[in-house]
Amino acid sequence: MTPEARTELAQEIEDAVRATPGVRNVYRSGSLVSNLLRAGAVALGVSDDSRPIISVVAGEEGLAVEASVGVDVAASAAVVLLAAYEAVDAVLRTAGLHRESITLTVVYVQSRDAA
């Protein structure tokens, strides 16, 4: 898979995850330290931040997808993660791609905005 195709697929997956009921936001996957180092490199101008938020990596048995999400406080995290998992899996199946793994992490539970 070309880097361009991987970027397009990551965007499709991100769109599907964002459209999942209960998902409030999608965040860049990775540790706090790696995200801080990436932000610092971008700020210094030695790197750009054009990489997709969703990680899509070719593994031995297929693609490994990783995403971090914020869920609505009123939603069940388990229900939201299952729906997001199914959305990611559907994108991969539609593209005729085999998945090695799908890793979804709740990194933030967001309250509703005051009206």
pLDDT in tens, 81-96: 999 999 999 999 999 9
- The amino acid sitting at 7 is T
The H or E element containing residue 96 is: none
pLDDT > 70 fraction of the chain, expressed in percent and rounded? 77
pLDDT level of residue 59 (50, 70, 90 thresholds): confident
Read off the pTM: 0.80
Work out the widest C-alpha separation in the chain, in whole angstroms.
Answer: 49
Q: So what CATH class is 3-110? A: alpha beta
In the chain, domain spans: 3-110
